[in-house]
Amino acid sequence: TLRTVVRGVGSYLPARVMTNAELSTLVDTSDEWIVQRSGIRERHIAAEGETTSDLGLAAARNALAAAGMDAQDIDLIVLATSTPDRTFPASATTIQDKLGIRHGAAFDLQAVCSGFVFALATTDKFLRSGSHKRALVIGAETFSRILDWTDRTTCVLFGDGAGAVVVEAQDQPDGPGGRGILTTHLRSDGRHSSKLYVDGGPSLTQTVGHLRMEGREVFKHAVGMITDVINDAYAATGTSSADLDWFVPHQANKRIIDASAEKLKIAPEKVVITVDRHGNTSAASIPLALDVAVRDGRIQPGHLVMLEAMGGGFTWGSALVRW
Ligand code: ACO
């Protein structure tokens, strides 16, 4: 059966690190409050002039190197981002251009923090249809540019960064033993738009706007939504939490991750956590976390890896991958 197999992972973080101590000089907050409520200790912030496509390009190059592939092997680029360089053209086409690719297609996809899971699921359908062979799926964000740096309830939670995977259509054995993406489940519910949104945009205000969030409201819905789509993945594949080697959740908040893992009976040692060092990098957080866990040797070929995310919209989704 035709499956979408991960061939390589890469990431990129801007050089500048902002600690909680530095943040407490900008707004009325403390390291203790931020760590206790979110698990975040530091985040990376893009340099002036360093854009989302710059971050995504660096991550894409690292993923191609890890896959041992040339950019010319790629015929599809899907970039998940809510912070594109410009309203248009899609930042994916900027990355395509800088990689020197003149064939195939490149487009952006927007599902806020669920963007990487949505992009991976979309790419999986392209590859399994036979229309494209090898894709770069990138999550890249510069949320520092849409934060209200005077609002302590949001500015302490986010960071900048990018991650990418190279995936390839391959013939694989049927069932959960074969390599590749086993199943994906995407959901959205626009009734919740006022709980997490940006208060600007080209059509509504002709401005970029700032992120606004009712954190407690988001938190209230997160665990239920996350566990629902993970249970959908188990039901579709006949697997359970006991079968997982690694749980790589969207890194929004350590308390949400811990509560989800506990509800799903996923052992804490199987959970990949990077929110402490990256903050919430929205669509970039999952491929960033994947890159950390692949490079330090935790995720190995043959492992069963559950990805999940929940974010603005609301949007939420899961992807179960035999590495
Ligand atoms: N420093 C110090 N105090 C603060 C700060 C801060 N940075 N921010 C808020 N406070 C205060 C509040 O004013 C409040 O004070 P009050 O009791 O006097 O009113 C108190 O701390 C508690 O605030 P809560 O909002 O109730 O704190 P909570 O425990 O809910 O934690 C948090 C807040 C971390 C935002 C949490 O609700 C959360 O993580 N929610 C989910 C957010 C999330 O995951 N968002 C990402 C979704 S993904 C996407 O699509 C972008």
156 lines ligand 1 (CB under 6 A): yes
Strands 304-311 and 42-45: unpaired
Residue from 26, 20, 54, 21 nearest 39 by CA: 20
Atom 40 of ligand 1, residue of closest alpha carbon: 215
- What is the chain's length? 323
Strands 304-311 and 246-249: parallel
Cα(158)–Cα(290) distance, rounded to whole angstroms? 18
Contact 278, 285 (CB under 8 A): yes
16 lines ligand 1 (CB under 6 A): no
83 lines ligand 1 (CB under 6 A): no
Atom 15 of ligand 1, residue of closest alpha carbon: 153
Contact 65, 8 (CB under 8 A): yes
Q: What is the ipTM of this complex?
A: 0.91
Atom 12 of ligand 1, residue of closest alpha carbon: 153
275 lines ligand 1 (CB under 6 A): no
103 lines ligand 1 (CB under 6 A): no
Contact 87, 202 (CB under 8 A): yes
Cα(188)–Cα(169) distance, rounded to whole angstroms? 27
Q: Could you give the C-alpha distances from 97 to 62, 89, 94, 104, 295, in angstroms and in order?
A: 17, 12, 5, 12, 28
CA of 33 to the centre of ligand 1 (A): 9
188 lines ligand 1 (CB under 6 A): no
What residues form DSSP beta bridges with 167? 6, 135
pLDDT of residue 320: 98
315 lines ligand 1 (CB under 6 A): no
Most ligand 1 atoms within 8 A of CB, residue of 153, 225, 251 to mutate: 153
Atom 1 of ligand 1, residue of closest alpha carbon: 29
Cα pseudo-dihedral 142, 190, 266, 244, rounded to 10:
-80
CA of 169 to the centre of ligand 1 (A): 42
Active site residues: 113, 250, 280
CA of 214 to the centre of ligand 1 (A): 8
CA of 156 to the centre of ligand 1 (A): 9
Listed as ranges, residues in the chain with pLDDT below 50 are none
Residue from 263, 288, 264 nearest 275 by CA: 288
Say if pTM beats, i.e. exceeds, 0.90.
yes
The number of the ligand 1 atom at minimal distance from the alpha carbon of 216 is 37
| Domains present along the chain, CATH in parentheses | 2-171 (3.40.47.10), 180-322 (3.40.47.10)
Cα(306)–Cα(304) distance, rounded to whole angstroms? 7
pLDDT of residue 243: 98
92 lines ligand 1 (CB under 6 A): no
Nearby residues of 36 by Cβ (< 8 Å), 6 or more positions away:
none
Most ligand 1 atoms within 8 A of CB, residue of 37, 150, 214, 254 to mutate: 37
Backbone torsions φ then ψ of 63, nearest 5 degrees = -70, -40
